[in-house]
Amino acid sequence: MAVSSLAREVSDLCIGKPAVRSLPLSATLGDALIALRKGGEDHLAVWACDRTRSDRKACVGTVCMVDIVCYLCSEENILAPGAALAAPVSVILPPKAAAPLVRRVEPSSSILEALDAILEGAQSLVVPLRPAASRRKPAAGGGAVLEFCWLTQEDLVRFFLNSIALFSPAPALSVTDLGLVHPAALAVRPHDPALSALPLIRAALVDQTSVAVVSDDGRLLGEISPSTLAHCDQRVGAALAALSAGDLMAYVDCFGAPPESAIGAIKARLQEKGLLSMLELLEADFSPPFLSSASSSSSSSDEESSPAAALQRPRRLRSAGRSGSYSARMGRRSEEAIVCHPESSLVAVMIQALTHRVSYVWVVDDNYFLVGIVAFSDILGVFREQLD
């Protein structure tokens, strides 16, 4: 019965999904930043060329706010983040020789095929929406504009939870018995500079996990989650450059509206560190009305709408766009990391993660000492093994 369930088409998981928003490969990081602020999405798809001309053009990757912030805060760009925004989005995409993090699957593909694609290393799957699901108007030439949607690890885990009885008794076993608890290799101390966590944040973004913030004796205090940072605006780059890991957690917990006292503290620390150029990220206005020509056809002029011009505009007292578009996962504070115990059952961990919209759960003992982490990729591996 489980095998027959997995023979269902991928299109069954795409019902009601919105079309992905995208950028051309020619777009700059500044264009991507503005597009993210405008739309409120976590990620944008990057296409090799104009995907409206053929349904076989490749999605070469994704870009999110964390990608941009990590690039701006890198050693080679931290002294001139404004200039770095003029770089093409290709600089943050994986090299061509690397395994693709985004793969295309057809609507008629089986769920088993989608599962194998994820387990082979794809972060997300892009699925063409069938004509009835597409809401876009026909292109100027008369042909229909092909749209796509995302299929993620979360979608597959939710599918398996809905079919959980077919895999008994494995879902009732503990995550420890199933060998799903792995050491939490991505961890920092609260007093460590947040900038030192930059490589860990990058790794967590690829792994779709998080960076644990632990005390000196190994207790879990909270986390720096890429899925949470993705809902911040560009100012989090300045915070990352200026603050400690513990203070960065407090900044992120302001949910996009940090008090002026916090902004003042960041400015002071940036001045102490000689990172005055990072002040541009605090003062710039990248709000949605000012779209660049690469991301909107309604721009008034290239000069007024470019990312460089945005850096010259003073920030409004109340940020527009992403500061008011947080998802359910942003209702949770950074110190409220989602945890389970080593004896927690697989099904309980799945419910926890899906409820809180995270793709991992920290494992702690009774005294909150960090034991490890359980990730969606490991959970999906269990169901694949059950089928084998």
Tens digit of each residue's pLDDT, the chain (388 residues): 555 666 689 999 999 999 999 899 899 999 999 999 887 778 999 987 644 445 567 888 999 999 999 999 999 999 999 999 999 999 999 887 566 889 999 999 999 999 999 999 999 999 998 765 445 555 444 455 678 999 999 999 999 999 999 999 999 999 999 999 999 999 999 999 999 999 999 999 999 999 999 999 999 999 999 999 998 888 999 999 999 999 999 999 886 678 888 889 999 999 999 998 998 888 776 554 433 333 333 333 444 444 444 444 444 323 333 333 333 444 466 668 999 999 999 999 999 999 999 999 999 999 999 999 999 999 999 999 988 7
255 contacts 326 by C-beta, under 8 angstroms: yes
What is the Cα–Cα distance from 370 to 52, expressed in whole angstroms? 48
The kind and range of the H/E element at 124 are: strand 124-128
211 contacts 204 by C-beta, under 8 angstroms: yes
pTM of structure: 0.83
148 contacts 128 by C-beta, under 8 angstroms: yes
Name residue 75's amino acid.
Answer: E
Largest Cα span, the chain: 65
